[in-house]
């Protein structure tokens, strides 16, 4: 439920951060000034005894997030890829959340498998080991199939994970609604829509049949891409709470020492991670949207092995073209074109000045152009970008949330591999190739051909459609006026109903 009882959950959240010592660690990591540090801790400290204790064996921040629940862990996973925002030490500490959380007992995993597949585990697997990785939603066991001796990874959902996530997300909905109610200016950021987007993604992760389908589709779309491997799903051994994939043998992409010892070139791997993501997003409109270090390994031949397909992203062809033009404009330092694309796509309200927006974008892009990652403060950059969006009344685009979030994570992974990576130089060949293929003469001919095919399918209906239009034009004027009046009244009633519902919902929040 999303009612006021969730206020208690947020009081307990702050109290948990204070009780576990996580509050001080976080404030130190982001170098919070006294004007923020002192009031915040003074507000939370009296309630610290209400906080959850967590596992004392874990470090403070990991301890707090793990105690608070899976949705908080998800947020920690994203921050773990951004040492430039959280600090190198805290980011390294948070990587535990990716796949090294405390596992639930193997016996419970076996019971879940047998209940889901309705067969004894001994008939399915000749070997079944303890958990080799455990994250917020599920854990993975290394096993061997009894039928053919193939090594596999068996993913099993945590017990009662659906209920735990539902409680967290309901609390987030309450917070978003309260935020919108108390701060009308925040509504352009669409906090409730953002939580809805997150909610849908998480619910998809809780059905492993959908993840099997995603693995299969992603393998098909990347089959011709060099430098990437996707494990094959075992469909007959997978269900809603259990999934079996081929075992991926390799070095964890987050272990720089092990990568160096194995002789891998981290600079090349960093570039490949970023380029593969851009290629899949732009070319296919279908991309792995959870590419943190816990979901990738490096094979002996240097290939990237991707797994965990619970969160996948899709963007339509029009959005891909807009995204590519914006990226290309930044690469070319053509800020007027970048501004124009924002206006054409409706990302900036039409009543704003395009030249002023171009100047604001230049102020963001020029200071970082040509710099390697070590010279860029992502904290300052994000703050500047937020100021620009607020100044020009830009609303959050929910269709781009997953793309933007994944871009942040992927860049963080690339930075962790190569601190000197220049994202513009790495992105240039992928974006230029997409521009040549999809925004030139060939793209025009392709669009024309697609339009012709649609028209050919509709051609049998064209006479009937034309007749309906003519009949509407020839009906008596009085009848048309009455029809228009009813339509207006209907629209007014609908609008009034929506407005009243919004006010009612606001009072509940």
Calpha distance 233→212 (Å, rounded): 6
Average pLDDT over residues 431-438: 83
Calpha distance 295→309 (Å, rounded): 9
Calpha distance 461→299 (Å, rounded): 55
User: Which residues make Cβ contacts (< 8 Å) with residue 288, sequence separation at least 6?
Assistant: 218, 277, 280, 295, 306, 309, 311, 312, 313, 406
Banded model confidence at residue 220, pLDDT cuts 50, 70, 90: very high
Q: What is the pLDDT of residues 177-191, one digit of tens each?
A: 777 776 776 676 677
Copy the structure tokens of residue 299.
Answer: 């094979």
Q: Residue 496's pLDDT is what?
A: 29
Q: SS3 for 396? A: coil
What would the 3-class secondary structure string for 422-457 be? CHHHHHHHHHHHHHHHHCCHHHHHHHHHHHHHHHHH
Average pLDDT over residues 25-45: 76
Banded model confidence at residue 242, pLDDT cuts 50, 70, 90: very high
Average pLDDT over residues 282-290: 91
- Backbone phi, then psi, for 139, in 5-degree steps? -135, 160
Calpha distance 460→442 (Å, rounded): 29
- Closest to 354 (Cα-Cα) out of 332, 334, 338, 333: 338
- Closest to 320 (Cα-Cα) out of 279, 348, 291: 279
Is the CA virtual torsion 235, 241, 246, 248 positive or negative?
positive
Q: What is the pLDDT of residues 360-410, one digit of tens each?
A: 888 877 876 666 656 655 555 655 666 777 788 877 666 677 787 788 788
Q: Dihedral, CA atoms, 186, 190, 192, 193, nearest 10 degrees? A: 180
Calpha distance 290→296 (Å, rounded): 10
434 pLDDT exceeds 90? no
Instruction: Note if 290 is an active site residue.
Output: yes
Q: How many CB atoms lie within 10 A of CB 485?
A: 10
- Kindly give the residue spans of alpha helices, DSSP state H, lying in 138-287: 161-182, 191-205, 208-221, 256-261, 266-279
Strand pairing category for 242-246 and 151-157: antiparallel
281 pLDDT exceeds 50? yes
Q: Residue 480's pLDDT is what?
A: 46
Percent of the chain past pLDDT 90, that is, above it, reads 28
Of the listed ranges 63-67, 90-94, 296-300, 340-344, the least confidently predicted one is 90-94
Calpha distance 468→417 (Å, rounded): 63
181-184 long-range contacts, CB within 8 A, separation 24+: 181/506, 181/509
Which of 94-103, 152-161, 453-462 shows the highest mean pLDDT? Answer: 152-161
Q: Residue 495's pLDDT is what?
A: 31
487 pLDDT exceeds 50? no
Q: Residue 56's pLDDT is what?
A: 86
- Closest to 69 (Cα-Cα) out of 149, 152, 145, 136: 136
Q: Residue 324's pLDDT is what?
A: 85
- Annotated catalytic residue, options 290, 334, 351, 372: 290
493 pLDDT exceeds 50? no
CB 242 within 8 A of CB 117: yes
Banded model confidence at residue 221, pLDDT cuts 50, 70, 90: very high
Mean pLDDT of all residues belonging to the chain: 79
CB 490 within 8 A of CB 162: no
Q: How many CB atoms lie within 10 A of CB 219?
A: 17
Q: Which one has a higher pLDDT value, 129 or 28?
A: 129
Calpha distance 309→419 (Å, rounded): 27
Residue-wise burial string across 10-33, b where 16 or more C-beta atoms lie within 10 A, e elsewhere: eebbbbbbbbbebbbbbbebeeee
Of the listed ranges 29-33, 62-66, 73-77, the least confidently predicted one is 29-33
Q: Residue 370's pLDDT is what?
A: 62
Calpha distance 99→86 (Å, rounded): 19
pTM of the model: 0.71
Q: How many CB atoms lie within 10 A of CB 338?
A: 22
Copy the structure tokens of residue 312.
Answer: 């996948």
Measuring CA to CA, how many Å separate 122 from each of 115, 141, 185? 13, 15, 59
């Amino acid at each position: 439920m999303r009612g006021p009882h969730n206020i208690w959950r947020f009081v307990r959240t702050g109290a948990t951060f204070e009780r576990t010592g996580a509050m001080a660690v976080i404030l130190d990591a982001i170098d919070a000034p006294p004007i923020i540090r002192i009031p915040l801790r003074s507000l939370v400290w009296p309630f610290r005894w209400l906080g959850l204790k967590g596992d004392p064996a874990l470090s403070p921040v990991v301890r707090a997030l793990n105690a608070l629940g899976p949705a908080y862990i998800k947020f920690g996973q994203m921050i773990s890829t951004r040492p430039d925002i959280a600090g190198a030490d805290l980011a390294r500490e948070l990587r535990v959340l990716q796949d090294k959380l405390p596992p639930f007992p193997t016996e419970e995993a076996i019971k879940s498998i047998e209940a889901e597949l309705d067969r004894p585990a001994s008939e399915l697997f000749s070997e079944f080991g303890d958990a080799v990785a455990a994250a917020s939603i599920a854990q993975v066991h290394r096993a061997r199939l009894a039928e053919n001796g193939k090594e596999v990874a068996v993913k099993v959902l945590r017990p009662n994970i659906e209920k735990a996530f539902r409680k967290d997300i309901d609390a987030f909905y309450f917070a978003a609604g309260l935020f919108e109610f108390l701060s009308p200016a925040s509504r352009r950021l669409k906090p409730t829509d953002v939580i809805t987007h997150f909610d849908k993604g998480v619910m998809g992760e809780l059905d492993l049949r959908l993840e099997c389908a995603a693995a299969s589709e992603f393998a098909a779309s990347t089959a011709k891409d060099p430098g990437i491997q996707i494990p094959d799903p075992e469909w007959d051994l997978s269900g809603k709470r259990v999934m079996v994939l081929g075992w991926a043998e390799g070095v964890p992409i987050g272990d720089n020492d092990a990568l160096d010892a194995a002789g891998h070139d981290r600079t090349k791997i960093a570039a490949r991670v970023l380029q593969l993501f851009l290629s899949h997003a732009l070319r296919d409109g279908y991309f792995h949207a959870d590419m943190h270090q816990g979901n990738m390994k490096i094979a002996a031949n240097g290939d990237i092995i991707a797994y965990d397909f619970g969160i996948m992203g899709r963007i339509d062809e029009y959005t891909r073209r807009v995204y590519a033009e914006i990226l290309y404009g930044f690469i070319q330092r053509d800020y007027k074109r970048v501004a124009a694309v924002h206006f054409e796509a409706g990302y900036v309200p039409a009543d704003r000045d395009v030249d002023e927006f171009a100047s604001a974008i230049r102020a963001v892009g020029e200071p970082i152009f040509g710099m390697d990652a070590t010279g860029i403060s992502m904290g300052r950059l994000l703050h500047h970008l937020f100021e620009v969006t607020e100044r020009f009344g830009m609303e959050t685009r929910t269709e781009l949330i997953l793309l933007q979030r994944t871009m942040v994570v992927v860049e963080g992974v690339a930075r962790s591999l190569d601190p000197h990576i220049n994202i513009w130089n790495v992105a240039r060949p992928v974006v230029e190739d997409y521009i040549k293929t999809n925004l030139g003469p060939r793209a025009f001919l392709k669009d024309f051909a697609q339009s012709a095919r649609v028209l050919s399918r509709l051609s049998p209906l064209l006479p009937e459609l034309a007749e309906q239009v003519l009949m509407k034009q020839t009906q008596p004027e009085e009848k048309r006026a009455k029809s228009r009046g009813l339509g207006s009244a209907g629209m007014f009633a609908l609008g009034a109903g929506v407005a009243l519902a919004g006010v009612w919902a606001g009072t509940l929040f």
